[in-house]
Amino acid sequence: MQAEIITIGTELLLGQIVDTNAAYLAKELAAIGFNVFRTTTIGDNQDRISNAVRRALDDCDIVITSGGIGPTVDDKTRDAVAAATGRDLVFDQSLFDDIRTFFEKRGLVLGENNPRQAFIPHDATAIRNPVGTAPGFIVKQGSRYVISLPGVPRELYHLMEHLVLPFIHREFGLETVISMRVLRTAGTGESNIDRLVADLEESDNPTVGLSAHPGAVDIRVTAKAKDAITAQQLLDDMETQLRARLGDMIYGLDDVSIEEVVVNMLLERGLTLVILETNTGGTLACRLTAVPHGFEILAGSLIASLPRAVGYLLKKTDHRHSVSAGTAEILADKIREAAGADIGMAIVGDEDPDAGPYGGVTGSTYFGLSRQDLTESQHIQLGGISEEGRTRIINSGLSILRNWLLN
């Protein structure tokens, strides 16, 4: 079974809003056995939306649109779907009553344009929206369906989960289940992981694919089966094979982050951490403290240039200190002593904007680690202060800290 997702809004094409709805819808459709044939993004133009819906109905069993059903003149989806399916728009009094009640309960004034939202294509099935003012609708065109949903993510998620997915299950008598699992790694390159699991990437069911991010690689495993139990068994078997190849490179599954894993490891061991950051500018501290209970493990954080960190911790005025393993180890040890923490970590890297990714020059960053009577350092060939550079550096640093705790 095929589906197409059409997300609508000029703001998406201008890059003013990141389109998260398409990814959400694709994931939900895949989970119930639909192959997403195509995703399309269109601005607020009725003719273009209408043409896209017609094309999608030629190719797919289900077409889901997101956005363009608000009250303003640039909300064109209702008119476009009606035109694409050869229907007139009709006023639904019950939908208008819902909209009016929504406003009254919140002490809001109903606008002159809000009644527009109560118009849906003739013979369409209304999708009532208890969490917003934009009702959706379902148009059946022969054996195929157009399902139009609001663009506000919270509303779309609610309607999809509570009304649309049950409708699709009923109408299509779904038997195939598609389940997905993501094995997450950090601090190692995509080519290295590919070298270790290349033959598994040739599997037909479950399928295995790699998705690279700055300083991290996700391994996506997708299984098809007639029931959820069989699909989960296929995932379990493939995960076992992947773990046998990759071992501790895998830090977690699905939505877990590397910082969550590190925070929980420190909490379980009753350890505190103090951090010195130069070129990463506090990125590590921010990510750790964004995790629940992250503040509990953090004994302190110092953000400074390398010369100032040397002056503050080593009481030296010589500004000729360069990025090096020895400097990182010494600073990690000194900041641990100063904070009375169990572990000190110093991230010492090139602060030159041109030293990191896309700057034209390969930089260097050293991670110094210190516990009582033990210091060591690790080096990555990456520096600079760009956002992507910092993300790569911190993902590598978190992986190094995790492995240090494991060992």
So what's the pLDDT on residue 335? 96
Chain-centre distance for alpha carbon 22: 12
So what's the pLDDT on residue 259? 97
Pairing type for strands 273-277 and 298-303 reads parallel
Domain ranges of the chain: 2-172, 177-253, 258-406
**pLDDT tens digits for range 206-265:** 989 888 888 899 999 988 888 889 999 999 999 999 999 999 999 999 989 999 999 999
So what's the pLDDT on residue 320? 62
* CATH code, residues 177-253: 3.30.70.2860
- What is the C-alpha separation between 158 and 153, in angstroms, rounded? 8
Residue 206 preceded by cis peptide, ω within 30: yes
Tokens of 182: 């993501």
So what's the pLDDT on residue 404? 93
Angle, CA 216 vertex, CA 328 and CA 284 arms, to 5°: 40
So what's the pLDDT on residue 295? 96
| Closest CA relative to residue 223, chosen from 205, 208, 241 | 205
Mapped onto helix, strand or coil, the DSSP state of residue 295 is helix
Per-residue pLDDT of the chain (407 residues; tens, 9 = 90+): 899 999 999 999 998 888 999 999 998 888 777 889 899 999 999 999 999 999 999 999 999 999 998 888 888 999 999 999 999 999 999 999 988 888 888 888 788 888 888 899 999 999 999 888 889 999 999 999 999 999 999 899 999 988 998 899 888 877 677 788 999 999 888 899 999 999 999 998 898 988 888 889 999 998 888 888 999 999 999 999 999 999 999 999 998 999 999 999 999 999 999 999 999 999 999 999 999 999 999 999 999 999 899 888 988 766 566 788 999 999 999 999 999 999 999 999 988 888 777 666 778 999 999 998 899 999 998 888 888 889 999 999 999 999 999 98
> Which CATH number, 3.30.70.580, 1.10.3210.10, 3.90.950.20, 2.30.22.10, labels domain 258-406?
3.90.950.20
| Closest CA relative to residue 387, chosen from 257, 215, 217, 249 | 215
- Which helix (H) or strand (E) element contains residue 91? strand 89-91
So what's the pLDDT on residue 148? 96
CATH topology of domain 2-172: Molybdenum Cofactor Biosythetic Enzyme; Chain A (3.40.980)
